[in-house]
Amino acid sequence: MRVKFRISRFNPDLDARPYHQDLELDVTNGMTILDCLHEIKNNQDGSLTFRRSCRSGICGSCAVRVNHRAMLACKTQALNVLIDGAVLVEPLVHLRTIKDLVVDMEPFYQTIEKVQPWLVTDHTTEEIPAITSKEAENLNRVSDCIFCGACYSDCNVIDVDRSFAGPSAIAKTYRFACDPRDILGSERIKHLVESGLYKCPVDQECELACPKGISLRRDVIEQLRCTAVTGGFGPLPAHKRLIMSVLDTGASVPVTTTPAVDMYKDRERDFHGIKELYIREFEGEPVTEVVLFFGCIINRRQQDTAAAIINIFQHNRVAVHIPKKQVCCGSPFLRVGMLETMKPFVTQNFEIFNTYANNGVTHILTSCSGCNSTFRHDYPALALEYGLNFDFRIYDVGEYMTMMDRDGTLNLNDMKNVAMKTMYHYPCHIRASGLDESIYVDLIRKIPGIGLVQVPSSGLCCGGGGGVRAAYPDISDKLAIRRMEIARDEGVDGLLTNCPFCILSFERGLWLKENAGEAMDFRIFDFYRIFSRAFGEDGMVKESH
Amino acid sequence: MIIHDLLILGGGLAGMRAALEAGKNVDVAVISKVHPLRSHSGAAQGGIASVLDRSQEIGDSLESHIKDTIKGSDYLGDQDAIEILCNEAPGDIRILDRMGALFSRTGEGLIAQRDFGGHSYARTCYASDKTGHILLQTLYEQMMKHNVKVYPEWHVVSLITHENTCRGLVAYDMARGELQVFRAKAIVFATGGYGRAYGITSNAHANTGDGLALAYRAGVPLQDMEFVQFHPTGLYRHGILITEGARGEGGYLINNDGERFMERYAPNTMELASRDIVSRAVQTEIDEGRGIDGYVHLDLRHLGKELIMSRLSQIHDIVLSFSGIDCTRYPIPIQPTAHYSMGGIPADAYGRVPDIDGLFAAGECACVSVHGANRLGGNSLLETIVFGRRAGITASEYVKKTTLRPMPPDTLPLVEHEINLMMNGKGKENAADIRMQLQSNMILKCGIFRDIDGLTHMQQLIIALKERFNNIGFRDRGMTFNTELVEALELKNMLDFSETIVAGAMAREESRGAHARTDFLMRDDEHWMKHTLAYRGEQGPVLDYKPVTMTRYGPQRRMY
């Protein structure tokens, strides 16, 4: 088919600044972006400049940005990335453009050189100690890195802080720090903590960009944070304060206003030994019964969101069990590498979920994307260590709404008009749970009146995850404000999202801008509150103010 | 003007190994047209052959490795060099291991070894299916550790010799857009193979045999150029390599009748027969109508998902990304692909190049010759490491007892003039079209099967293409990162050395190893057990020959 190529061009010998050139090309099935660039260079414009060599995804030469995302041109099927029959090809960012799609990779290579990327062994012995098959495999996974720079280009933190080591250099550190033959081990970790191991908000943009599928967050960064904790280099002082507070109060934020679970005294009851709220305010039989786990932030800071979720379920005839005891999922510990403190959180939540599951309420819903990802991905393995079989069906509330919609049990008729122009902010924890952006975008699109602007550059971060807000508030704030400014430039009223951490981050960003006398005229919309409003907010339980 | 004692051309495994060795003693720098991490060595998948203590337990021996390599070479390999290759392999593997190369391990933590075609025992050490990548990483780590000077993305335009001695070179610094003169006492060529002369190839775009053309134009003959190895399993239409390890792990080759056809060609070793034999078998099946739309199947399904994902994960990824096929569920469409250049710059076992003093060569660009008419899998990574190291040692010793010789006057203006003429001519010929004509015809006329008619046609075509090349047009006339210029220079190189492939193939009236003449089906030891040397002459290549070095093994019929 005929495809429109918009390609970033810049010839330093002729041009003052880069510009976009529009070209057309017949693209057949199986052609990669690199094939297309070659076709253009060979037959349309010999001056088009790009790097390439192996064309089989192993040399790492041809990383470019396609529709704003970094990837290898040779590994990208052109017909898979078209947007309205067109594709945008630009050079990597965070590196100076030399010409067209060619950037100066030197600063990126320097991030690697800085980590002393070679094996240091004790030379007093003739033969170095052997390494087991398992250890070699473990290091091998990370050694897939081909230093193409795609992660460096898509890294949110690099964008606001060039002193950050970056994903590739961190992976290279892992390669040696976790090699039992290397004698620098702990020194490497110490150095890495100094060069920003805790600056990553675990947003996983690097993983999306990585052409070799390296699991940078879980296999590299979080593993290294565990190693840092074991070695006494982590977590950082600011994390320790936060963690003390969780250990003291059982939740990641202290109580300042009445928590959501204390707002509905008349619905309290005992359910097989568990104190819970049971909310069923509609006529007739419920469509289904669910357990609702709010998460610390929604329970203690975003009670309106809690009320909105209850409203949504009442409107749709879902009976809701809310355990009064909402124990922190432990995510703040995990994200900074404190694995050994997880046991009480896992066992307590296991007990609660298990009681419900044993008594017929098997659908456990969380309204916090961070808790959701923790329950789904971290709990099963941890629980196994503690001798528990954590095998519950955990859903995100929005995911559950979509399932109901597909079953025809979500009542989307006569929703009220909610007039606004907004952009959906796709939380990294939602993605970490394996939930696609389209689940939420499609739901939002069903609300009458909403104008949804989605730009392909939605891989932007709120800055609120991974313990960055506690330890590096500067980075966190810059990321939040940058995210909002980019959305604002697309002409929307505000960002719409469903992660309590994102909302906190953005609201703080707005407050900072206002204090600096640069108020943004921008709003943050909560996914559930918008739905509650569309459903008329006329459920039996009102939003509390 | 830049001065170093020793220059290494090429930053792949052979080049880096030479640089690391020479860098211990002399002032050395690596010049490479791509960053060393982008070198095509990194694409080598299957492994590096070496007899180790472990393989000796299953009956293997250095002698067996030597014998297999000689047999694999179809008795064209120089046996003294082959003995060095095999005998020094274990020591070099140990050095790589100490550097931190992540070899796959056995349960006991020993270096694991797998079966490979043409080898009598499981002696191929590997790192999953990315052995080249891991070794490239390891050597580059050592380059950083030892602070070896690299000029990345400098394309060498001209080799400067005078009175048969090395003087230096002129290189194009792509990022800065300048031509620079380098003076050096000696130069080690480690510029890799020439697979890009062929339209279906496993080789990277960069593998245009530049070093060969530079040496050839300076008066060095090219040796055994007609021997081009086709790998039996290239991904259909792309030519991307599907490692021999896939067959080593137990993969089947299946034709359109569902038959494991290797039964008819090599009943004992089946899919693991020597590469030339398997390639001809695959091509014969396709040519005789037992293929499936121009390909046959490589079937891995019976190996199970777990084994595929752990030991052949890169293959799984490649097949999925480039053909959209999940090889745990469907067979892989494959065709033979131009893979390895047995021929190259003649070099002795110390890396010394005859005819010009101060030139050395190692790795795929060199013809030592340890591979003869056909290379065994696992022996090419080994060659880069063993002979890279040896060339590095010899070159540094040479440099220590040599003084820097003067550069001929007007070197830079002459090269500049030549490039200006090319870039600013009024010609309208499309260089990409000339390249395509060369590549697609080399496959057809000078590929797996050859005959006098096809070769004669190819010879004339190259002359015509060279004529057209003199009138190519340029769109990009600036000097900053001009890839149009680089590609034109590469094409010029390919046109030059391709003539020697064709000339060597036309003259060699026999079939041996990778050189299969349909009009001369048999190996002819009486007349042709000798190396081809192609010198540059006024009217194209001038051929000469030199004997094969034999130590202990006389030629025998090759059966697998």
ipTM for the assembly: 0.95
Residue in the block written with tokens 């933190």? A157
CA distance A459 to A482: 12
The two tokens of residue A406 are 């597909």
Euclidean distance between CA atoms A177 and A171, whole angstroms: 10
Partners of A132 on chain B (C-beta within 8 Å) are 105, 109
d(CA A488, CA A481): 10
Nearest to A133 among B109, B431, B482 (CB): B109
| In chain B, % of residues over pLDDT 90 | 90
Average pLDDT, integer, range A234-247:
88
Helix (H) or strand (E) segment spanning residue B180: strand B178-189
Termini Cα distance of chain B: 55
Is the pLDDT confidence value at B420 over 80? yes
Q: Which of A38, A53, A106, A109 to mutate to test the interface with B (most CBs of B within 10 A)?
A: A53
- The whole-angstrom distance between A117's CA and the closest CA on chain B is 6
**SS3 letters for A251-319?**
CCCCCCCCCHHHCCHHHEEEECCEEEEEECCCCCCCCEEEEEECCHHHHHCCHHHHHHHHHHHHHCCEE
AA identity, residue B150: V
Residue B35 C-alpha, separation from nearest chain A C-alpha, in angstroms: 9
pLDDT at B462: 98
Q: In the prediction, which pLDDT does A250 show?
A: 76
Q: Do A53 and B177 touch (CB under 8 A)?
A: no
B478 CB neighbours in chain A (<8 A) are: 11, 13-14
Confidence check: pLDDT of A538 > 60: no
Indicate the pTM of the whole model: 0.94
Residue A336: how many other CB atoms lie within 10 Å: 26
- Would the CB atoms of A128 and B35 count as touching at under 8 Å? no
Distance CA A482, CA A486 (A): 6
Residues from chain B that touch A148, judged by Cβ atoms under 8 A, are none
Q: Which helix (H) or strand (E) holds B213?
A: helix B210-217
A377 in helix, strand or coil? helix
Write the residue in B100, B108, B134 that is nearest to A118 by C-beta: B100
**Would strands B449-450 and B154-162 be described as parallel, antiparallel, or unpaired?**
unpaired
- Do residues A81 and A471 make contact, with C-beta atoms less than 8 angstroms apart? no
Q: How far apart are CA B85 and CA B108, in angstroms?
A: 28
CB-nearest partner of A47 from B97, B108, B476? B476
Least confident of A451-460, A533-542, B360-369: A533-542
- At B8, the amino acid letter reads I
Are the C-beta atoms of residues B192 and B132 closer than 8 Å to each other? no
Shortest Cα distance, chain A CAs vs residue B70, angstroms: 31
From the candidates A41, A59, A95, which should be mutated to test the interface with B, based on the most B CB atoms within 10 A? A59
Question: What does pLDDT average to over chain B?
Answer: 96
Q: What secondary structure does DSSP assign to A12-40, as a single string?
A: TTT-SS-EEEEEEEE--TT-BHHHHHHHH
What was the pLDDT predicted at A156?
Answer: 96
Binary contact (B317, A140; C-beta < 8 A): no
By the 10 Å C-beta count (0-12 exposed, 13-18 middle, 19+ buried), A128 is classed as: middle
Nearest CB to A52: which of B205, B322, B431? B205
Domains of chain A as residue ranges with CATH? 2-103 (3.10.20.30), 107-231 (1.10.1060.10), 250-407 (3.40.50), 420-534 (3.40.50.1860)
Closest Cβ–Cβ partner in A59, A98, A179 for B480: A98
Residue A543 has pLDDT above 50, yes or no: no
In whole angstroms, give the CA distance from residue B81 to residue B549.
Answer: 9
- Identify the closest residue of chain A to B320 by CA–CA distance: A75
pLDDT at position A318 is 96
Distances (CA, A) of B241 to A54, A57, A62, B219, B557: 11, 11, 18, 34, 29
Residue A327 has, within 13 A of its CA and on its CB side, a CA count of: 16
Most A CBs within 10 Å: which of B483, B489, B491, as the mutation test of the A interface?
A: B483
Residue pair B343/B46 in contact (Cβ under 8 Å)? The answer is no
Q: Is the separation of the CB atoms in A87 and A66 below 8 Å?
A: yes
Say what the pLDDT of residue A540 is. 45
Contact between residue A100 and residue A80 where contact means Cβ atoms under 8 Å apart = no
Residue A71 clears pLDDT 70, i.e. is over it: yes
B69 in Cβ contact with B47 (< 8 Å): no
pLDDT bin (cut points 50, 70, 90) of residue B230 is very high
All residues of chain B having their beta carbon less than 8 Å from the beta carbon of residue A149 are none
Cα–Cα distance, B505 to B343 (Å, whole number): 12
Tokens of B383: 């060659």
B275 is annotated as an active-site residue = yes
DSSP A128: P
- pLDDT above 90: percentage of residues in chain A: 86
Give residue B370's Cα distance to chain centre.
13
Give the end-to-end CA distance of chain A in Å, rounded to a whole number.
Answer: 57
Q: How remote is the C-alpha of A270 from its chain's centroid?
A: 37
**pLDDT tens figures, A430-480:** 999 999 999 999 999 999 999 999 876 557 899 999 999 999 999 999 999
- Residues sharing a CB contact under 8 Å with residue A180, sequence separation 6 or more, in sequence order: A129, A131, A135
Instruction: Identify the residue among A118, A132, A182 best suited for mutation to test binding to B, counting B beta carbons within 10 A and taking the highest.
Output: A118
Q: Which residue of B has its CA nearest to A101?
A: B481
Fold identical between B232-336 and B411-524+532-545? no
Q: Give the per-residue pLDDT at B544.
A: 98
Could you read off the pLDDT of A135-174 as tens digits, one per residue?
888 898 899 999 999 999 999 999 999 999 999 999 999 9
| B37 with A56: Cβ contact below 8 A | no
Q: In what order do the strands lie in the sheet with A19-26?
A: A19-26, A2-9, A86-90, A63-66, A69-72
Kindly list the domain boundaries of chain B, sorted by start residue. 232-336, 411-524+532-545
**pLDDT band at residue B524 under the 50/70/90 scheme:** very high
Tell me the pLDDT band of A544, cut-offs 50, 70 and 90: very low
Residues B361-376, mean pLDDT to the nearest whole number: 97
Q: Residue A129: which pLDDT band, with cuts at 50, 70 and 90?
A: low
Quick check: A46 and B37 CB within 8 A?
A: no
Q: Hey, are the CB atoms on B481 and A104 less than 8 Å from each other?
A: no
Place of tokens 């030059």: B496
When the pLDDT of each residue in chain A is averaged and rounded to a whole number, the result is 93
Map tokens 């896939």 to a residue: B246
Residues in Cβ contact with A186 at an 8 Å cutoff, skipping those fewer than 6 apart: A231, A233
CA atoms within 13 A on the CB side of B106: 10
Domain B411-524+532-545 sits in CATH at: 1.20.58.100
Cα–Cα distance, B105 to A92 (Å, whole number): 37
> How far is it between the farthest Cα atoms of chain B?
68
Average pLDDT over residues B7-11: 98
Q: How many angstroms from the chain centroid is the CA of residue B384?
A: 10
List CB contacts (< 8 A) between A47 and chain B.
Answer: 475-476, 484
Q: Which of A42, A54, A98 sits opposite B204 (nearest CB)?
A: A54
Query: B37 and A147: CB-CB below 8 Å?
Result: yes
pLDDT at residue B104, as a whole number: 92
Chain B CB contacts of A133 under 8 Å are 104-107, 109, 112
CA proximity to B114, closest of B155, B70, B60: B60
Annotated catalytic residue: which of B17, B114, B247, B275?
B275
Give me the helices (H) in A21-105, please: 33-43
Q: How confident is the model at residue A127 (pLDDT cuts 50, 70, 90)?
A: low
pLDDT in tens, A499-518: 999 999 999 999 999 999 99
CB B8 within 8 A of CB B36: no
Contact flag A55-B204 (C-beta cutoff 8 Å): yes
Q: Tell me the three state secondary structure of residue A522.
A: coil
B105 and A121 within 8 Å at the Cβ level: the answer is no
Residue A125 confidence (pLDDT) above 70:
no
Closest CA to A110 of A69, A142, A152, A71: A152
Contact B322 A32 (CB under 8 A): yes
What does the pLDDT average to over B252-270?
Answer: 95
Confidence of residue A545 (pLDDT cuts 50, 70, 90): very low
* Cβ-defined contact of B40 to A54 (cutoff 8 Å): yes
CA angle A18, A20, A26 (to 5 degrees): 140
- Quote the minimal CA–CA distance from A508 to chain B in Å: 42
Task: Give CA–CA dist B275/B204, Å, rounded.
Answer: 20
Tokens read off for A114: 């800085």
Q: Topology of domain B232-336, per CATH?
A: Flavocytochrome C3; Chain A, domain 1 (3.90.700)
Lowest-confidence range among A154-168, A242-256, B296-310, B369-383? A242-256
Residue A141 is predicted with a pLDDT of 84
Average of per-residue pLDDT across A266-284: 94
A36 has a pLDDT exceeding 70: yes
